[in-house]
Amino acid sequence: MKTIQFREAIAEAMSEEMRRDESIFLIGEEVAEYNGAYKASKGMLDEFGPKRVIDSPIAELGFAGIAIGSTMAGNRPIVEYMTFNFSLVGIDQIINNAAKIRQMSGGQFNCPIVFRGPTGSAGQLGATHSQSFENWYANTPGLKVIVPSNPYDAKGLLKAAIRDDDPVIFMESEQMYGDKGEVPEGEYILPIGVADVKRKGTDVTIVSFGKIIKEAFKAADVLEKEGISVEIIDLRTVRPLDLDTIYESVKKTNRLVVVEEAWPLASVSAEITFQVQQNVFDYLDAPILRLTTADTPAPYSPVLLEEWLINDKDIIKAVKKTMNLV
């Protein structure tokens, strides 16, 4: 095993796949000359050249359409958005073309493409740069949606996404690019649609994904000292959802808290809550609780931003509430 940063795991996954398959190319704003806005494509222009690592204009609709069209000519593009907030400019191409090519062509064309970049809040970036759209894309049949939380998962899942024959939304976090973690020296691939039990426990299940799951680990450490055993499930993929792993955990712990960095209405946590109540309701000893960001645009003030986001103290309080301790 070696210890590398999250951004290095992303770069390794892309570079290894591009060495393996010449039909893969990377396109996006500042991915080439600048080595990526967050240095997640560092060195790739030097290795693969400007025909396969392409700096695009500031025109998300345009370069998304070019990349999607190229899949019908046999290519397997990776599209980097500087932030998924900017993907809204190109969302028509993603929703109405990439997600529907296979069906609307009667299976004559598939669309092997990855759209990747940062999601969620990254500090004081204002309301238009601090949004989570995982549930938007997960609501679309034809798309797969991946949100890794650490370098190991990021590399293994990105390689799987690049090899997938359908469009994949791969959502990272600006605040995780410097995170370090162990990654195998050799090649490995993680399956899409399989959640991971990151921490075993017996008293309550916490389900989360992406960078906000780190708050769950902080909470679990505090709760363990108080004699409360927490099981943490990292979804890794929000479409398709690995509900079976959640069901099995709830059958054991009988309590569930879902933590998500997104607005509450029609969220991933709302879907999980519904599915658990429909399928393993009899195992629940307390109502399901879910934690989301506040139902407002993200504030700029650091004081308000801290209140807007979920933190470990919020999770501790929710866990104790499910156990009738508060």
Q: Does residue 106 sit in helix, strand or coil?
A: coil
Residue 290 placed within a domain: yes
Pick the closest to residue 8 from 161, 195, 152, 220 (CA basis): 152
* Model pLDDT, residue 93: 97
82 and 49 assigned to the same domain = yes
Pick the closest to residue 54 from 34, 83, 74, 38 (CA basis): 34
pLDDT of the chain along its 326 residues, tens only? Answer: 999 999 999 999 999 999 999 999 999 999 999 999 999 999 999 999 999 999 999 999 999 999 999 999 999 999 999 999 999 999 999 999 999 999 999 999 999 999 999 999 998 999 999 999 999 999 999 999 999 999 999 999 999 999 999 999 999 999 999 999 999 999 999 999 999 999 999 999 999 999 999 999 999 999 999 999 999 999 999 999 999 999 999 999 999 999 999 999 999 999 999 999 999 999 999 999 999 999 999 999 999 999 999 999 999 999 999 999 98
pLDDT digits (tens, 9 = 90+) for 177-207: 999 999 999 999 999 999 999 999 999 999 9
Residue 224 placed within a domain: yes
152 and 285 assigned to the same domain = no
* Model pLDDT, residue 310: 96
Q: Which of 183, 218, 250 is the last residue of a domain?
A: 183
Give me the number of domains the chain comprises: 2
Domain that holds residue 255: 196-322
215 is an active site residue: no
Residue 213 placed within a domain: yes
* Model pLDDT, residue 326: 81
Catalytic residue among 8, 129, 215, 231: 129
Predicted TM-score (pTM) of this structure: 0.96
142 and 243 assigned to the same domain = no
Residue pair 271/238 in contact by the 8 Å Cβ criterion: no
34 and 175 assigned to the same domain = yes
260 is an active site residue: no
66 and 117 assigned to the same domain = yes
Residue 188 placed within a domain: no
Catalytic residue among 60, 134, 172, 174: 60
Q: Collect all residues with Cβ–Cβ distance below 8 Å to 281 and sequence separation of at least 6.
A: none
CATH number of the domain encompassing residue 21: 3.40.50.970
- Helix 243-253 and helix 268-279: axis angle, to 10°? 60
